[in-house]
Amino acid sequence: MKKQLRIRDILENTQKIDLQLNLITGREGIDKAITAIEINRPGLTLSGFFDYFAYDRIQIFGLGETAYIKQLSRERREEIYARFFSYDIVCCVYTHNEYPDEVFIEYAKKHKVPTFVTQHPTTRFISLLTHIVEAAFAESVTIHGTLIDVFGIGILLIGKSGVGKSETALELIERGHRLIADDMVEIKKIDESLLMGSGSELIRHHMEIRGIGILNVRDIFGVRSVRNRKRIELVAELQEWDANTHYDRLGIEEQVYTILDIEVPYIIVPVRPGRNIPIIIETAALNQRLKKMGVFSAQELDKRIQEWIARENDNK
C-alpha cells in the first residue's frame, strides 16, 4: 500500500517539530494527501516554463520567488497564477515571513490550496520539513511484541501468546525500567541502521495482564515508568523450555534478528518455572551495553582460557 501523508499530519507531526506555519487561506484542502516525498521550488514555473512542473510536491516560495513575483505586472501575475493553479497543487509555503500578494491568496482560496507563511528561512524550513516527511514515509512494520527500555537499551521481547512477555515487562517496570509499547510495536526504519519502536497512540502505555485486565502503566507506576519511543537494540525471544532444543550456552557467536532488512542482536531466552526472566533480561541488557563499549565477556573469557592453555603448553 502506498503511504500517504496529509497536510494536517505535517502540522501535527509526532516529532513535535515547530515549522512555525501560519495558515493564510482556509482550512479547506488540509486533509489532502501528499504522495510525493520531495519539495519543489517553483521559480522556473513562475517565469512561465511549465514543462516538467512537479505540481504534486509541496511548493516552496523563497526570497527569490517572492522578489520575482513582486516585479511582475498585475496582468502577468494573474496570467501566471491562473496557469499555476490549473494544476492540482497540494500546498504552498512562503518562507522568511514573506506574504503572497492578494491575487495569489484569491487563487489559492478558490482552488482550495492551503497556503502557509513560515518564519523560517528556506533552507532551514526545507530541512525540517524533509525530516517530518521522511519519517512519515519511512518503511515500517508492526510486530507482536513488547518494547521496553532496560538500562538504556531498547529490548524487543517477542514470543508466542501466553509465554509471558507482558508479565516479564511488568516485573521490569516494577524494577524501574520503562515501557514503550506492549503487544503491538510499530517499528520504523529511520535510516539504514536505526530502527525506532513506538506504540499505537490510542493504546499507548496500556497493557493487558491476564487475571487483572487492562492497566494504564503510566497512571499506576508513574511517568518515570514509560517513554514514547526507543531505538531497538536487542531482540529477546521468550521460548517455552524444550529439552530437545539446543540453547546457546556460550554466547560467543552473536545471533541476529532481521527487521526491515536491519540486523539486530538476538537472543533466545528459554522460559520455565523457577527461571527469573526479568533478571535475565536485565543482565542481557547490561551485557549488550558492555558489547557496545567494546567488551565482549564470552569472547574475552575464551581468549583468557586459550592463553592459559598456551602458557601451560609452553611450560611443559
Binding stretches for other proteins (CB under 8 A)? 1, 3, 140, 142, 144, 161, 182-184, 186, 199-200, 202-203, 206-208, 214
Residue 69 or residue 133: which is nearer to other proteins going by CB?
133
168, containing H or E segment: helix 165-174
d(CA 129, CA 122) in angstroms, rounded, equals: 10
- 165 included as an active-site residue: yes
Judged by beta carbon, residue 77 or residue 206, the one nearer other proteins is: 206
What is the number of residues in the chain? 316
Closest separation in Å from C-beta 58 to other proteins: 22
Query: Closest separation between CB of residue 46 and other proteins, Å?
Result: 37
Give the three cell numbers for residue 10. 505535517
- 38: its cell numbers: 520531495
Type and span of the H or E element at 234: strand 234-240
Name the DSSP class of 226: B
Please choose, from the candidates 253, 256, 263, the residue with its C-alpha nearest in 3D space to the C-alpha of residue 298.
253
Neighbour count for residue 247 (Cβ, 10 Å): 11
Beta-strand pair 178-181/146-150: antiparallel
Among 27, 144, 160, 272, the active-site one is 144
DSSP state of 202: G
Among 165, 188, 229, 291, the active-site one is: 165
CB closer to other proteins, 65 vs 183: 183
Task: Determine the angle formed by the axes of helices 74-84 and 102-110, rounding to 10 degrees.
Answer: 20
Helix (H) or strand (E) holding 39: strand 39-40
Query: Least distance to other proteins from the beta carbon of 268, Å?
Result: 19
Residue nearer to other proteins on the CB measure, 190 or 280: 190
Annotated catalytic residue: which of 249, 261, 314, 316?
249
| Nearest residue (CB) to other proteins, 27 versus 144 | 144
Distance CA 44, CA 23 (A): 25
| Least distance between other proteins and beta carbon 91 (Å) | 23
Minimum Å gap between C-beta 284 and other proteins is 24
Contact predicate 205/216, CB 8 Å: yes
206 is catalytic: no
Q: Which residues are catalytic?
A: 144, 165, 183, 249
